[in-house]
Amino acid sequence: MHLLNADLHSHSNVSDGTLSPEVLAARAHAQGVELWSLTDHDELAGQHRARDAALALGMRYLAGTEISVSFAGTTVHIVGLGIDPDDPALIAGLAATRGGRRERAQQMAAGLAAVGIKDAFEGALRYVGNPELISRTHFARFLVESGVCEDTYAVFRRYLTEGKPGYVPHQWARLGDAVRWIREAGGIAVIAHPARYRYTPIEEYALFTEFIGHGGRGVEVMTGSHSAAEQARYGETAREFGLLASRGSDFHSPEESRIELGSLPDLPGHLEPVWMALEHRIQETHP
C-alpha cells in the first residue's frame, strides 16, 4: 500500500484536459497506475464516469477535484481527495467558484483584441469541453493553433500571466471555504504544487498555517510541476508541518504535459502517503 503507483492529480476534458474521463482512465491503467484520481478544476461532472471506467479496468479510484482559491493576492490550488462527488454543499461551492469564468473569458478576449489578437473568445470556445469551464488553457491552445506562439508555455509567459494583455485577475473561493467543503464531503484537502506560487517565505508560512488551521491535511510533494530540488524541499515541508504527502502528475494532454500519468518517482519512505489515510474512501472492484 505504501509504494502503490498512485496518481492523484489529473484533468479530463470536463475541465482543461483534452482526453475524456474514459480515455484518461485507460491511459492511466496502461501506464501502470494502481490508484487514480481525476481532479478536474472546480468541477465534479466527470467523477462517476471516471470511477466507472477505473473500476471496469480493475484500477482503484479516489474521487477528486482541484479548487481554485484566492490567497494573499495569488491563485492557489487545493486538491480534494476522497470526497463524495454527490455532496450538495461541495457541488454548490464549486458551482459558485466557476461561476464568473465566462465573463472573465470575455474580458481576456478583450485584452487580447487590444494587442491585435481577434476573436479569441470564439477561438478558445472551440477547445472547451464543458461550457461552464472556460480556462486559460483553452485560450493557450487557440493561440498555439493560430500560430501566435510555439507552445502553450510560451502563451502563458507572453499573454496569460499577471501583467500580460490576456490576464484578468479573478476572485476565486476562500481558502477556509474550499477546505471546509472538502472535509464536509468526507475528503482530505491537499495543497497542490506549492512551488508554483512564488510566495515569500512569510506568505508561504501563512498559507500552510492557515490551511492547517482550517483542517487541511496534505501537500503535494511529487508533482509534474516540481523539480527534483522542489520535491525534496516540500518533502521536508510536509515533515515539518506534519502533513500527509501526495503524488500526482497533473496530466492534461499527451501533447502538452511534460510528465506522463503514473511516471513520477515514489514518495520518500519517511513520508506518510495521503492515500494511507483514505483507505475507507478508495473504491475498488471485488472479484
Return the C-alpha cell found at 195.
512551488
For the segment 152-171, give every residue that binds ligand AMP (CB under 6 A): 152-153, 156
Least spacing, CB of residue 105 vs ligand AMP, in Å: 8
Closest CA to 218 of 264, 282, 267, 272: 272
Residue count, binding to ligand AMP (CB under 6 A): 10
CA 237 – CA 231 distance, rounded (Å): 10
The helix-helix angle for 228-241 and 201-213 (nearest 10°) equals 50
Q: Is 16 in the site for ligand AMP (CB under 6 A)?
A: yes
**Smaller CB distance to Mn ion: residue 34 or 250?**
250
- Among the listed residues 29, 51, 136, 183, the single contact to ligand AMP using CB under 6 A: 136
Closest CA to 115 of 160, 75, 83, 172: 160
**Smaller CB distance to ligand AMP: residue 34 or 42?**
42
**Smaller CB distance to ligand AMP: residue 7 or 16?**
16
Return the C-alpha cell found at 36.
487514480
Q: Is 7 in the site for Mn ion (CB under 5 A)?
A: no
Which positions from 116 to 135 touch ligand AMP by CB under 6 A, shown as an x/- string? -------------------x
For the segment 216-255, give every residue that binds Mn ion (CB under 5 A): 250
Residue 136's binding partner among ligand AMP, Mn ion, none (Cβ under 5 to 8 angstroms by kind) is ligand AMP
- Among the listed residues 27, 51, 60, 77, the single contact to Mn ion using CB under 5 A: 77
Amino acid, res. 113: A
Amino acid, res. 182: I
Q: Is 252 in the site for ligand AMP (CB under 6 A)?
A: yes
Task: List helix spans (H) across the chain.
Answer: 21-30, 47-56, 88-98, 101-113, 120-125, 136-145, 152-155, 175-184, 201-213, 228-241
Query: Is-contact 206 72, C-beta < 8 A?
Result: yes
Residue whose C-beta lies closest to ligand AMP: 135
- Among the listed residues 12, 47, 68, 249, the single contact to ligand AMP using CB under 6 A: 68
CA 4 – CA 48 distance, rounded (Å): 23
- In the complex, the residues that contact ligand AMP under the rule CB under 6 A are 16, 41, 68, 135-137, 152-153, 156, 252
- In the complex, the residues that contact Mn ion under the rule CB under 5 A are 16, 66, 77, 192, 250
